[in-house]
Structure 1
Amino acid sequence: MFGLDLNGLTGEVVTRKNAEYEEARQEWNRAIQKFPLVIVYASSVQDVSNAVRWAVKHRIDLRIRSGSHHYEGYSTGNHVLVLDVSRLSSIKLDATANTLTAGGGVKNEQIYEFAGKRGYPFPGGTCPTVGVSGYVLGGGWGYSSRYFGLGCDSLIGLELINAEGDLIKASKRENKDLFWACKGAGGGNFGVVVSMTFRLPPKIRTVTLVQLYRPDASPAIMEQFLLTWQKWLPRADRKITISTTLYDSAAEGMAIFGRGFYYGAADEAKRILSPFAKISGMELSAEEKPFLEAVREVEKSYPSSEKFKSTGRFVFKTYTSDEIRTLVELIQNKPPGSIFAGLTVYALGGKVQEVKPNETAFYYRNARYIAGIQSVWEEDRYASVNQRWVVQRFRILESLTEGSFVNFPISELPNYETAYYGANAERLREVNDRYDPSRVFQFPQAIR
């Protein structure tokens, strides 16, 4: 700290000398404990520009933070400058053009409240405090994906601060290659996004919130669910998007819980989900609500923070009964100290598949769904055993899947660029060579 020259930094500047440093350095995943050299809360685009130029001048590594939700904590680090854009939270609606422009620090809950109160749905994520920019730049899966596409599919333009500290724009008309790259590979790469403009979906009156629940789920019941799921999903109405977790929790034991949105009536949703109702003991509900109420119902289930290890891979195939059994076995025998260990499936298809794999940086357009593995714990002494447990099961999941979802990252990926970006990886390196040749925007799994 001695001799650290903070001249040139603007916005709120927090260092270890400040009382608020301890809280300011925390990620949503409290298993991540890093100690930045300085944290800058930018309140303006100029603050962002000044922070980038300061980091370059002083040769300090830079991390970009919006909602603090990076699974592996790459939005922070030891002895780095954390550039926090969460205060860039303005939202504007152009009702004539049917577009919404949001600051780079806007969170899911903020954009849902703004759009929902005006009658619009929005293809955002599920956790309220996730930053919309991080969500969108990694592709963006949510409960509207099969109907409206991924979050990045509604993006029509953005503004970012580049490696020189200058503001540049990207869209289909200007800096087209950068715009392409930011739709699936922009998180932490290329620059600091300070503004995003989205094409809004049509206004709606209600959406149906659907839920599946099977308490006391035996391995056989879980296998039956996955067999039903993989047969059901390819033919499911695109207006429905759900995710479902098979889990072992300290509170409930073994169970299955699924949730999502159907853009239609409740009775139609129940008919679409009827194959799952045939599973013994499965409870199914469908309730029509205004979009904003449905979103709030989902959001209230998330805690303010957790300690976890979690990741996700893409599924392209139909599994055999033996492979299904292997997947279910992944969550048998949760690790010591785990309060929740689960396997989650996230539906893809529908509008996601209408975009070609090379049309945006998000490559895995033709996957049927995402499969993720996770464990959550409370006591720090159980961190390493839980992390190893997830990595061991990830290796099994890896053998049954193709490619990893960059928004559900895992640090134990040796060839991470190909895993995250598939055949788009080489073009992404070329874009990075053009926009950030000196690699100002680097982190452990940055584009090299």
Structure 2
Amino acid sequence: MSKRVPDFSKLRMNVSGRVLDPNDSAYESARQALIWNKRKPSRFPDVLVRPESVEDVASAVRFAKHNGLQVGIRSGGHSWTASFMRDGGVLLDMSAFDKLHIDATAKTATVGPAVKGAKLIEKLGELGLFFPAGHCDTVALGGYLLQGGFGWHSRRRGPACASVRSAQVVTADGEIVHVDAEHNADLFWAMRGAGPGFFGVVTEFELELYDRPPVLRFTAHAYHFELMDEIFPWLANTLPELSPDLECSALAKTDPETGKLSIQMRGVVLAESEDAATAALGVIDDCPMRKRAYARNHNLPITFAQLYSGMDKNYPPDMRIALDNAWSDARPDDLLPGIHAAVESMPNSPPTHFMLQPWGRSPNLRDMAFSFEANIFMIASTGWYDPADDDLHQGWVTDSMRRLEPKSLGIKLGDENLASRPARFMSPANFARLKRIRQAWDPAGLFHTYMALPDES
């Protein structure tokens, strides 16, 4: 039996923004433009809608419900798997929701889901304020805040979703509601951590802001690859000594200067004083291996614009991307066999790397869906150009983290690889609660949920 095609003319009448279905000549170019990297999945929504107002969003949701269509939401398109892009249904492109208003006196910001974190940091910096936005300047706040949000200074401030005060949400019934700790509190709880499985459309966030520490410093060491077995465990074991103002990592990757496999150790600190920055970076700058570094830059002044530019070099806009990640509380030495297997099978592509990062758990974490952190965070990341190499690179990130599963607690949403490797991303109790809240707010499953789920049995 052929599929019934809804009458999209009614949707066009009720939505002021762009509405494209596959019969429109602009549909395919618009569909591909919604995806951040060059790897475009063969998934085709029934209709692409670019709402321009919250009323447009509500109208589109009601249309979907009336016509038995599911709904996907795209904020900035940075999801490397394009989890928002599904076959069939309505895809809401929220790129017009880029409102940004800062109340410096109240230390709050009202932002749309399409606002880029880098822009927010820039505007706040002019006022001496700060928010822990994402590490890449192409990351919009919508998906970032929903999935938790690990960004600059998050070891001090916690996941960014913990700094969301309230939001405006369009529900599965097409109703526009306000959510915070006292109003629709269960939806507010779910919104902070549900990520791509959230069952509503957030059209506006209210954020808690912080004073911006005045000192931003950067340290970088480069070592020959043979030292990995010393550097990775040493760095992981420094966690108790690390200032929460410091974010540091070690990456196994090809050095663009030498063309050889290397270990790059880096640290970024946002501090209240020069002395505090020097003390925080001292853990790395005075590490036992420092005399064997073949390149060493320590405690250098840096700007957020420069940090974002450096991150962009790992993810050029014309590149195909794949990632996977893992949280772990294992002994660092016990992780080395899996890390070796990952690094030794790493594709020969300059942006490709395996990263280990000492992280730890946020103190006094608020009660919300987000519930997963650990002492060590690891990520396998790769980029390439030739579509013929898709299986090679996708297989590498998946296999690398699969080998580490016995030592892993689960994954971080945002860099997830759920379609290829389902893994836990929330505590079992929180995930069970999330399912109950979804049943209450979206019993018919109007909104797409996760691309795949782990076996919780």
The correspondence of residues 16-415 of structure 1 with structure 2, limited to 5 A, is: 16-26=22-32, 27-33=35-41, 34-208=43-217, 210-214=218-222, 217-218=224-225, 220-248=226-254, 252-264=259-271, 265=274, 266-276=277-287, 278-279=289-290, 280-281=292-293, 283-289=296-302, 292-298=304-310, 300-301=312-313, 302-320=315-333, 323-335=335-347, 338-349=349-360, 352-355=362-365, 359-365=367-373, 367-412=374-419
Deviations 1:62-121, CA, capped at 9 Å, x for gaps: 211011122322111233321011110001112222111101221222212221222222
Counterpart of 1:263 in 2: which secondary structure? Answer: strand
Quote the Cα distance in structure 2 between the aligned partners of 1:76 and 1:270: 41
The CA distance in 2 between the partners of 1:3 and 1:183, in whole Å, is: 35
1:338 CA drift (Å): 4.3
Kindly provide the amino acid, as one letter, of the partner of residue 274 in structure 1. D
The total of aligned residue pairs comes to 437
* TM-fit CA distance, 1:284: 3.3
One-letter amino acid matched to 2:68? R
Following superposition, the deviation at residue 430 of structure 1 comes to: 1.0
Query: How does 1:423-442 map onto structure 2 within 5 Å?
Result: 423-442=429-448
**For 1:419 and 1:99, how far apart are their aligned partners in 2?**
29
Output the TM-score relative to the length of structure 1: 0.89
- By how many angstroms is 1:267 displaced? 3.0
Deviation sequence 1:202-244 (CA, Å, 0-9, x none): 1333322x232415x32x3112111111111222011111343
Q: Name the amino acid aligned to 1:5.
A: D
> Conserved in 2, the CA contact under 8 Å of 1:364 and 1:422?
no
> What is the rounded CA distance, in whole Å, between the counterparts of 2:450 and 2:63 in structure 1?
21
After superposition, the Cα gap between the structure-2 partners of 1:106 and 1:253, relative to the gap in structure 1 and judged at 3 Å, is same
Q: Which ranges in structure 2 are unaligned for 5 or more consecutive residues?
A: none
Q: Secondary structure at the match of 2:11?
A: coil
Deviation at 1:298, TM superposition (A): 4.2
Q: AA paired with 2:131?
A: F
Cα deviation for residue 439 of structure 1 reads 1.0
Give the letter for the 2:189 counterpart: W
Q: Could you say which residue in structure 2 is the equivalent of 1:5?
A: 7
The percent identity for this pair of structures is 25
Corresponding residue SS for 1:303: coil
Is contact 1:429–1:447 with CA below 8 Å preserved after alignment? no
2:413, 2:406 → 1: CA distance?
A: 18
Change (3 A) 1:114 1:187: farther
Cα contact 2:76–2:139 (8 A) shared by 1: yes
> Aligned to 1:402, what secondary structure does the other structure show?
coil
- 2-structure distance, mates of 1:268, 1:436: 50
The change in CA–CA distance for 1:170 and 1:328 in structure 2 (over 3 A counts) is same
- The one-letter code of the counterpart of 1:45 is V
1:110 match: secondary structure? helix
Cα distance change of structure 1 residues 91 and 446 upon mapping to structure 2, 3 Å threshold: farther
Q: CA separation of 1:244/1:38 partners in 2, compared to 1, >3 Å: closer, same or farther?
A: farther
C-alpha distance in 2, partners of 1:149/1:419? 17
Aligned-pair distance for 1:258? 4.3
Deviations 1:159-196 (A, max 9, x none): 11100111112111111122111111143412011111
Q: Deviations over 1:334-385 (max 9, x none)?
A: 24x74543211244236x23316xx2212124x1131111222210011012
Give the letter for the 1:212 counterpart: A
Gaps of 5+ in 1: none
RMSD: 2.6
- Sort the Cα spacing of 1:414 and 1:248 in 2 relative to 1 into closer, same or farther, 3 A: closer
Q: Is the 8 A contact 1:107 1:130 kept in 2?
A: yes
SS in 2 for 1:230: helix
